[in-house]
Amino acid sequence: MPAQAGTPLIGTFRLAAGDCSGATPTGTYFRMIDPGGTIATGKYFANPDSTCADKSITVEQPGTDGGLVTGSFQPDPATPFDAFGNSLSGRILVARSFTAIKFGISTNPSDPQTHQKVTAPTITLQGNSLSGQITAWSAAWNKLYFNQGSPKPDGSRPGLTSPVIGTYDASTHAFVLTWASEVVGGPFNGFTGFWHLQGTFVAAG
Amino acid sequence: MASDTAVHDRATRTSPHESSSRVGALLFVTALVGLGLVTAPFAFQMFSRAPKGATMIADFKPFMTNQRLDGFQHDIAEIDGAVTQIDRARPPAAASNATYQEFDRQWPAINADMTNLLDTVQRNVGNYRAVAALPDFRLFPWFFVVPGVLIAGAAGVALRRPRSRSRSRRRLRVVLVALGVGLVLAPLVFDMFARAPKGGHMMTAFKDLETTQKVQRVQGYFSAMAAGQGAIRLDIEAALQRSGTDLPAVAALDRDWVHILNDMTPMIGAMSDNVGNYRAVAAMPPFPMFPWFFVIPGVLVAGSALLIRVPRNNATRRQGVS
């Protein structure tokens, strides 16, 4: 069925692996901005485990589900961490090393950091523009959780938190989704995660 | 006997009007003290601030032990050991690594500041324990409101019944004396005269630690340490191994880095999460004053109650009993 204006896209946003070999990173990647910085110019947190020359970019690979599923949750496993604090979440993205400990991404009905009930991700297509909410987007690292959704579980958009926006090509189903989410609370309070998801949408059913 | 009673009456008793006025004044003062106790928590916003203090005390608990703080000191010392060893050995891999060189440049200041921070926290372990041994902060507003309501209530009822009988007046006096003495004893029972000043010392010591600026600086240190250790872990140590250079402190840091992250990151989180809670506690009256917020009202209530004379009824007058 062809996509229409204001159409919810329910299915899997299959993610393309991140690539930082060129001047500008493509695919799926993450960047963390220091408190007081800006998304455009930084100052950025350098992840020494990044495989990119620009250590502020951490490229990602799709997880076992192929990427982000809208309309339902992709929760943390029953044992979310190993003994060293590495995240064992791997459905959306492959857990990547961040300063020597792996972080993983999940979406849960109850946000692990704030313990607030959240709704499953929703992305809506209007024309060739995407919008939506990924409030449930949660990062797990070092036996800690950081909500990286937009809007936040309480509906706010603190600091540099920006709405989920993107583009969609109806003929190829190619998409790009971006948003930023400030960490509220915990050791990374005030840092902001910028997320760039790219790939191909596959409708459910 | 009747004349002896009359003499006794004249010697020991004021006129009915004066007695009633005096009792009324004492009850009025007592009621005011009670109302003061009830309103104090609202004036000091204790119902919103005290729970934040409770949260802060609970959040700090895992870190306020000598064992844990010794561990943090060891973590910092381990990083310092690796940096010192690299600086002495001057391997080419370190000299050519811009990330490590930047970390090396920052490290002396980071080391000094983090060591000072940990020393300050560790000096206050005893003070923390004293504060943590007090009743739950969430209860503190009620320690004022409950006795205040009882005191104001008892005095208020008595004020509305100026001609109450001796038995009622006696009961009133007993209740007020008991409440007053209870207020005086409460700080002693909870050892507040010893513990509250220690809480004050801790709050003073943490004044420059529990700020947004300090937390952001420590977060910056974490970023620098992560970057520097990453350079050591991923580049320098590999080069050392290839060259057969043995730097045991570097190997130890590499081995223990994940544990250091596991250990210290939650501490930074607790610092960050309690900046607002610290401010709330600091906005309340200073800790050393709290015992007196009980003792002074207690003395006033008990003292006023003891000055309330119990009127004699006809039976006791006939028996010559005062």
Q: What is the pLDDT along chain B (322 residues), one digit of tens a residue?
A: 445 544 444 444 555 555 678 888 889 999 999 999 999 999 999 999 999 999 999 999 999 999 999 999 999 999 999 999 999 999 999 999 999 999 999 999 999 999 999 999 999 999 999 999 999 999 999 999 999 999 999 999 888 876 666 778 888 889 999 999 999 999 999 999 999 999 999 999 999 999 999 999 999 999 999 999 999 999 999 899 899 999 999 999 999 999 999 999 999 999 999 999 999 999 999 999 999 999 999 999 999 999 887 766 544 444 444 4
Asked if A45 has any chain B CB less than 8 Å from its own CB, the reply is yes
CB B272 within 8 A of CB B215: yes
What does the pLDDT look like over A109-157, one tens digit per residue? Answer: 999 999 999 999 999 999 999 999 999 999 999 999 999 999 999 999 9
Quote the Cα angle for B217-B221-B222, to 5°: 120
Q: Are the CB atoms for A174 and A168 separated by under 8 Å?
A: yes
Give yes or no for a contact between A18 and A25, defined as CB atoms under 8 angstroms apart. yes
Kindly give the residue spans of alpha helices, DSSP state H, lying in chain B.
2-12, 16-43, 46-60, 66-89, 92-95, 98-123, 125-133, 140-160, 166-189, 192-205, 212-231, 237-243, 248-273, 275-282, 290-307, 314-319
Q: What is the pLDDT of residue A205?
A: 82
- B219 and A190 within 8 Å at the Cβ level: the answer is yes
Q: What are residue A58's DSSP bridge partners?
A: A30
Average pLDDT over every residue of A77-81: 98
Who contacts B94 (Cβ-Cβ below 8 Å, separation ≥6)?
B86, B100, B101, B104, B236
B contacts of A99 (beta carbons < 8 Å): 226, 229-230, 261
Residue pair A183/A190 in contact (Cβ under 8 Å)? The answer is yes
Q: Out of A49, A100, A187, name the one closest to residue B272 (CB).
A: A187
ipTM for this prediction:
0.89
What's the token pair of residue B29? 């003062």
**Mutate: best of B102, B232, B262, partner A, most A CBs <10 A:** B262
Chain B interface residues (partner A, CB cutoff 8 A): 99, 215-216, 219-220, 222-223, 226-227, 229-231, 233-234, 257-258, 261-262, 265-266, 268-269, 272-273
Cα distances (Å, whole numbers) of residue A190 to A36, A113, B113, B272, B292 = 8, 15, 21, 10, 40
DSSP E strand stretches across A11-116: 11-15, 29-38, 42-44, 57-59, 67-69, 96-98, 101-107
Bridge partners for A162 per DSSP: A180
pLDDT of the residue at A48: 95
Q: CB distance from A84 to chain B under 8 Å? A: yes
Say if the Cβ atoms of A34 and B272 lie within 8 Å. no
